[in-house]
Structure formats: structure tokens, C-alpha cells
Amino acid sequence: MNKHVVRYLIICTVLLYVASATIASAVSLPDTGQTKCYDNTREISCPLPGQPFYGQDAQYGTNRQSFTDLGNGIVRDNVTGLEWQQATAPGDYTWNEAISYCEDLTLGGHSDWRLPTIKELSTLVDSSIPSPGPAINTAYFPDTRASIYFSSTIYASDSFSLWVVYFDRGRVFLSDKSVFDYVRAVRGEPFPANNFIDNGDGTVTDTSTGLMWQQETALGIYTWREALAYCENLTLAGYSDWRLPNRNELQSLVDYSLYKPAINTAYFPDTRPSQYWSSTTYASDPSTAWGVFYNYGQGVGFNKLDRYAVRAVRGGLCGDLGDADGDTVCDGADNCPTTYNPGQEDEDSNGVGDVCEGSSTTTTVPGEGCTVAVQPMFLPLTPGLLPQLRRIVLTGDGANWNRTSAVSIEDIPIVMPLRIQPAQIHAIIVIPSMLFGRFTPGEKAVSVVTGTALCTGTVNIP
């Protein structure tokens, strides 16, 4: 046991040192935008832990897409920090013309525009929008064509080809430099290259994103449902909070300077040049899920009943943007960065969250009250450390619970909003990391207040 503790402390010390040295070059990956849950054929109520299809994209939302219209033809992505040309460039272009257009562009008083890389361009895709699209937030990018947009990333195997995003549904694939397609320029610090650390325990940390990856491909091949279950049940290197990566996270591993496979095999030596599952469903076709074909790096859809490879992921961070209130919304995107508010409610759309203004909109639960059943979930028991409460699943009569429903736990003198699942028959309280360790053992009262109703329950913390 002592050897395990010493080894754990050494690893933590090394990782903390490396993280502190590389945090400035980290980038926050925006969420995919998907908020609904699916089985193999249709939309469903989001499942509870342990149920089939648990662990899909909508149940692990982090770094929600967030944009600011700067009012000068520029839109800032509050998660990545990149600034985008709001309007699609007039006309269409060959790739060389697209490069020149961006380099010659002056917009909003800036002349440092460029054609985005494929990873940068892909972060604009909103995977909640079905075909024919466009699969992007049209409130901020209203004239986006449901068509092909150029990136600056050239195909590693053929210098006449390049990577593009097809915004009909968000596919990432290859095109030819000579064809005429659309352009949207970007400015800002380019996404950093992957910076991998082999942790020596079957995991690899990418300090450019803050994600920790299963180093070896999972043995065998899996349907989408099996892939979700495999990752949820995985215990590796002392961690049990593994999950199936969403499409943006899975694409972040691609090295577009390589092919067959398009990944750094010094850190992921057994990667197959084939399809890997993501947790993100095709909004246009629930029988299909997004994946990455690591032969070259395409981001496309696969039938959920087919069997493909799996690599689990855990963690994530906000990079140098920070997340002061621990609500999984990075400070640059958070409309109230000092108060836990994962729902980001903003009734008057003034950019300041309701929780910071002292106002919110609530719905009323029918009846004078209700009860809740509480299921606690804990971080893994690491040698020498106590288990930490990670999240609480509430089920009960709260058919009209919404994200402004107030939740309190006896030991914690704060109020936290619910993260409501689409079916609105259960909810998840995600405990901010800053509160870990502040729960004393014993049975604790849990309450949910929405409208005029009070729902109560208990949770036992060992």
C-alpha cells in the first residue's frame, strides 16, 4: 500500500509540474452542442447510470459553445478565444484563392486574418442540428451555407488535397484544392499541437487539451451501445470515471501530418487505421453515431449496430481561461464566472447571468411538494485518499424541474442549479470540484425548490 501511495504522489507531482509548465499552451475544446439522448433508432429519455446507453454525449456537457457578436463583423468564440469572420466570404474560391483572401482581409480594424486549421474550423459545428443544416449557430453566423468550407490543413498523403468541413451536418473529409468552395477567416492564437505525456500506467495525458486517454485501444470491437458501456465500466490507473469521448475530443487526437494511422504512434502504438466510436449521435439519423476514421482522420458517421474500435477518455480543463466556479463553463464563456451556474440562464439576454443579477425564471411543480430518491456517485477510492462525491442523480415527481430549480445539500451552504435531462424526469447535480472533500460522513438532507414546490430526500455519504 505504501508503495502505491508513494507512486501515486510521484506521478501527481510530475503531472502537476508539467501542467504548470504547459498550461499557457492549452486550448479548451468546445462542447458539441448535443443535448438529447438516443438509443439505436430514436430519441429517448436520457438513461440513468447503469442503464443501457448511459454515458453518451448529452450527459457529459462541458465547455458549452458560447459566442459574442462584437458588432463589427466579428464573432468571438468565448471558449477557444478565436475571433471569426461573421459573414461567409463573398463568392466561392479555390484553396489558393482562399488563402490569399484571408491574408489580404482587413476587418474590424484587424489585418491578421488567416484560413483556419481543420481542428479550429470543426469547433464551429453544432452537432445538435440535423441535415440539411447548416450545422452551426446561425444566430451568430446567419449566412452560413450548408456546404463545404475550406481549412488550411493539407492532406498528409496528397498535397493536392485538403481537409474541409461540410456544414450540412458537420462532416470532416477531404476535398481538392482546385474546386470552388466557401471561406470563413479566423484570427487569434492557433490551436497548439498535441503535447503528450506517457504516464507509465496505461494512460496518456494531452496537456494541449487537458484530457487523459486510455493508451491502448480496447480489446475487440464494439457496437455503439457496447462502447458506451465499456468506457463507463472501465477502471484504469486508479480511475473509474472514464467515458466514451465526444466527436470533438476524439478528433483532437488526430495528427493531420500523418496517415495510416493519423495519430502519434509513439504514444498510441496499437492504434488501428480504422474507425473509432465517439459518444455523439448523428442528429439527422439516430441509428448513426459520429466517429473518426484514423486511417486518414475523417470525421464521419457509422451505423450504431456495426462494430468498431474504442479508446476511453477522462477529464478535461479550461486551459488558461480557467473555471473559477467549477461549473464546467470556462470563465471566458461564463456569464457569471463567480457563481456556479452550468445552465447559463440569461432571461434578459444582456450577457450577465440571472444568478449574478439576482433574477431567474422558474417553473412550478404540480402539487404542494414531492419526494426525491437520491443516488450518489463517487470518484474512485485512490490509495491514501477518501472517496469524493462527484454527482448526485435525483429521480422523483419533478416533471417540471428546470435548470433554475435550486438545490441545496445539508453540509454545503450554497445553492446549485440542476442539470436537467431532456425527459425532465430526473436530474443530475454535478458537484463543483472546489467543494470536494467538504462533505462530512453521514446522512444528509437534499432539497429541490422550484416554483412553489419543495422536493426533499436524503443522501448517505460514507
pLDDT at 208: 87
Cα–Cα distance measured from residue 444 to residue 195, given in angstroms and rounded to the nearest whole number: 42
Question: For residues 393 and 401, is the Cβ–Cβ distance under 8 A?
Answer: no
Domains 67-187 and 369-461 share a fold: no
pLDDT at 289: 97
Provide the 8-state DSSP code for 236. Answer: B
Structure confidence at residue 183 as a pLDDT band (50, 70, 90): very high
* Mean pLDDT, residues 101-117: 97
Cα–Cα distance measured from residue 153 to residue 449, given in angstroms and rounded to the nearest whole number: 50
User: What residue segments make up the domains of the chain, in order of their start?
Assistant: 67-187, 369-461
Tell which residue, 42, 69, 39, has the closest CA to residue 54: 39
Cα–Cα distance measured from residue 143 to residue 158, given in angstroms and rounded to the nearest whole number: 32
Question: For residues 249 and 67, is the Cβ–Cβ distance under 8 A?
Answer: no
Cα–Cα distance measured from residue 121 to residue 340, given in angstroms and rounded to the nearest whole number: 30
Cα–Cα distance measured from residue 150 to residue 244, given in angstroms and rounded to the nearest whole number: 29
Q: How far is CA 103 from the centre of its chain?
A: 31
pLDDT at 176: 95
Cα–Cα distance measured from residue 68 to residue 351, given in angstroms and rounded to the nearest whole number: 9
Cα–Cα distance measured from residue 76 to residue 61, given in angstroms and rounded to the nearest whole number: 20
Cα–Cα distance measured from residue 318 to residue 351, given in angstroms and rounded to the nearest whole number: 20
Cis status of the peptide bond prior to 261, with omega within 30 of 0: yes
Structure confidence at residue 264 as a pLDDT band (50, 70, 90): very high
50 membership: H or E segment, kind and range: none
* Integer angstrom CA distances of residue 101 from 2, 93, 177, 183: 62, 9, 15, 9
* Mean pLDDT, residues 44-50: 91
Take residue 212 and report the three cell numbers written for it: 487523459
Q: What's the pTM?
A: 0.68
Query: Over 60: is that where the pLDDT of 367 sits?
Result: no
pLDDT at 209: 87
Q: Is 412 helix (H, G, I), strand (E, B) or coil?
A: strand
Cα–Cα distance measured from residue 391 to residue 105, given in angstroms and rounded to the nearest whole number: 48
Cα–Cα distance measured from residue 154 to residue 87, given in angstroms and rounded to the nearest whole number: 24
Cis status of the peptide bond prior to 134, with omega within 30 of 0: yes
Say which CATH architecture domain 369-461 belongs to.
Answer: Sandwich (2.60)
Cα–Cα distance measured from residue 5 to residue 236, given in angstroms and rounded to the nearest whole number: 16
DSSP one-letter string for 302-347: EETTS-BB---EEE---GGG--TT-SSS-TTT-SSTTS--TT---T
Instruction: Report pLDDT digits (tens) over 383-392.
Output: 444 444 445 5
User: Considering only 82-96, 212-226, 277-291, 442-456, which range has the smallest mean pLDDT?
Assistant: 442-456
pLDDT at 165: 97
CATH 3.20.20.70 at 67-187, yes or no: no
Q: Percentage of the chain with pLDDT > 90?
A: 54
Query: Over 80: is that where the pLDDT of 203 sits?
Result: yes
